[in-house]
Amino acid sequence: MIVKHLTRRQILGPIGIAAGSCVLSSCLSESASSPLDKKPGFPWPYDKLDPQITAERAYNDHRKGHCMYGAFVSVISQLAERYGEPYSSFPVGMMRYGAGGAAGSGSLCGALNGSAALIGLFVKKEEDMKLLIDELFLWYEQTELPTYIPERPALDAKIPTSVSNSILCHISVTKWCKMSGNKTFSKQQKERCARLSADTAAKTVELLNAHFAGEFSAAHEFDDEVKTCRSCHTKGSDRSDSRGKMHCRICHSSLAVDHP
Ligand code: HEC
Ligand code: HEC
């Protein structure tokens, strides 16, 4: 389902143009349900992209707006160059919020957040969207990163790799700093995160290319331990007192001695 040549009309559809022309206040007063719920033209069409070119762009865009911005803009900018609207109107500046795990909070890695947003934008079925995001997050948790070597590096140095075991910015960054002997907020850490954003954007494009070619299959699996913990603690289990798919032991390193 790869889209070749799209016009603005094909993307937005006739109703999209009508809806786009109404003033926000009058749209809101028309019905109780949000007009956004029915907006046609979702998901936006995706077109096959080159992972290597995407990586280089994410690396360079990282400098303009950090990790989430870099990962997101690397993809949307290529589609904007090919097709113009609606891609060229996306308010990409909003993606700066994701830096440092959302405004520096250290929660979800911004490169993952921007990439998951892309998957959410292009993939129609919720089930498929979740499968792709699961695969991206597991790849990130389990892979030695970063591996991307920029053509024109901002910092021309060998950047060590580490396995984060976590999708959280705080854990991912601090583990890398501890392992490599660098400080957070150093030039080295910034370079590491720029390269990691490049890797993540390239992976996302690989997954989207595979999905739209009907060739996606998951290459990473949840840890057995996560499956075991979830069997007693998550939705539908005996205790149903937690939710999530992250590595449990990274935070729950010690459990009560009498824990089952
Ligand atoms: C066989 C079912 C079972 C499995 C598997 C299981 N738990 Fe539990 N867990 C329990 C029960 C039952 C309690 C409540 C124990 C109590 O109240 O004394 C509990 C309590 C806890 C608690 C709160 C008390 C404490 O020990 O800190 C945490 C946290 C926890 N589990 C995390 C985990 C993690 C992480 C895993 C996987 C490594 C896991 N559990 C696997 C059944 C299970
Ligand atoms: C990023 C850190 C982190 C991760 C990853 C994590 N947890 Fe937790 N979990 C916490 C914190 C913090 C609490 C709250 C502890 C408290 O209030 O005592 C908690 C609470 C819990 C509780 C309730 C404990 C109680 O005292 O009743 C359970 C059960 C639990 N987690 C299971 C899991 C399981 C299962 C996983 C993996 C799928 C997991 N957690 C992953 C940090 C984490």
Residues 109 and 228 grouped into a single domain:
no
Residues 242 and 153 grouped into a single domain:
no
pLDDT at 40: 67
Rounded to the nearest angstrom, the gap between the alpha carbon of residue 213 and the centroid of all alpha carbons in its chain is 20
d(CA 216, CA 129): 12
d(CA 151, CA 163): 24
Neighbours of 133 (CB within 10 A): 19
Residues 134 and 96 grouped into a single domain:
yes
Ligand 1 atom 6 nearest Cα:
229
Range of the domain at 164: 48-212
Ligand 2 atom 16 nearest Cα:
252
Ligand 1 atom 39 nearest Cα:
229
In the reported structure, the alpha carbon of residue 171 is separated from the centroid of ligand 2 by a whole-number distance in angstroms of: 15
Ligand 2 atom 27 nearest Cα:
241
Ligand 1 neighbour 229 (Cβ under 6 A): yes
Q: Kindly tell me if the per-residue pLDDT of 165 is higher than 90.
A: yes
pLDDT at 32: 56
Residues 73 and 100 grouped into a single domain:
yes
Partners of residue 145 on adjacent β-strands:
162
Residues 51/42, Cβ–Cβ less than 8 Å:
no
Q: Kindly tell me if the per-residue pLDDT of 7 is higher than 90.
A: no
Residues 137 and 170 grouped into a single domain:
yes
Confidence of residue 21 (pLDDT cuts 50, 70, 90): very low
Ligand 2 atom 10 nearest Cα:
251
Give the chain's mean pLDDT: 89
Confidence of residue 202 (pLDDT cuts 50, 70, 90): very high
In a domain, 217, yes or no: no
Confidence of residue 124 (pLDDT cuts 50, 70, 90): very high
Residues 88 and 154 grouped into a single domain:
yes
pLDDT at 33: 64
Residues 138 and 255 grouped into a single domain:
no
pLDDT at 237: 86
Average pLDDT, stretch 57-64? 97
Residues 137 and 246 grouped into a single domain:
no
In the reported structure, the alpha carbon of residue 233 is separated from the centroid of ligand 2 by a whole-number distance in angstroms of: 10
> What is the atom index within ligand 1 of the atom nearest the CA of 237?
2
Residues 63 and 172 grouped into a single domain:
yes
Ligand 2 atom 35 nearest Cα:
229
Q: Over the stretch 34-46, which tens digit does the pLDDT of each residue have?
A: 666 666 688 999 9
Residue of 16 and 172 predicted with greater confidence: 172
pLDDT at 39: 65
In a domain, 234, yes or no: yes
In a domain, 68, yes or no: yes
Q: Kindly tell me if the per-residue pLDDT of 172 is higher than 60.
A: yes
Average pLDDT, stretch 184-188? 96
HSE of 193, CA atoms in CB hemisphere, 13 A: 35
d(CA 120, CA 133): 9
Closest CA to 200 of 121, 133, 245: 133
In a domain, 6, yes or no: no
In a domain, 27, yes or no: no
In a domain, 143, yes or no: yes
Residue to substitute in 223, 232, 250 for testing ligand 1 pocket (most ligand atoms within 8 angstroms of CB): 232
In a domain, 239, yes or no: yes
Residues 228 and 154 grouped into a single domain:
no
Predicted TM-score (pTM) of this structure: 0.88
pLDDT at 19: 41
Residues 79/3, Cβ–Cβ less than 8 Å:
no
Ligand 1 neighbour 240 (Cβ under 6 A): no
Average pLDDT, stretch 83-103? 97
> Quick one: which H or E segment has residue 190?
helix 187-212
Residue of 39 and 63 predicted with greater confidence: 63
Q: Kindly tell me if the per-residue pLDDT of 220 is higher than 80.
A: yes
Ligand 1 neighbour 260 (Cβ under 6 A): yes
- Report the pocket of ligand 2 as residue ranges, CB < 6 Å: 168, 226, 229-230, 233, 241-242, 244, 246-248, 250-252
In a domain, 11, yes or no: no
Ligand 1 neighbour 257 (Cβ under 6 A): no
Starting from the CA of residue 228, give the closest ligand: 1
> What is the atom index within ligand 2 of the atom nearest the CA of 230?
35
DSSP labels, 39-62: -SS-SPP-----HHHHHHHHHHHH
Residues 244 and 154 grouped into a single domain:
no
Partners of residue 108 on adjacent β-strands:
168
Q: Kindly tell me if the per-residue pLDDT of 29 is higher than 80.
A: no
pLDDT at 49: 98
User: Structurally, how many domains does the chain consist of?
Assistant: 2
pLDDT at 239: 87
In the reported structure, the alpha carbon of residue 259 is separated from the centroid of ligand 1 by a whole-number distance in angstroms of: 6
Structure tokens given for 171: 């854990």
pLDDT at 12: 47
Residues 167 and 109 grouped into a single domain:
yes
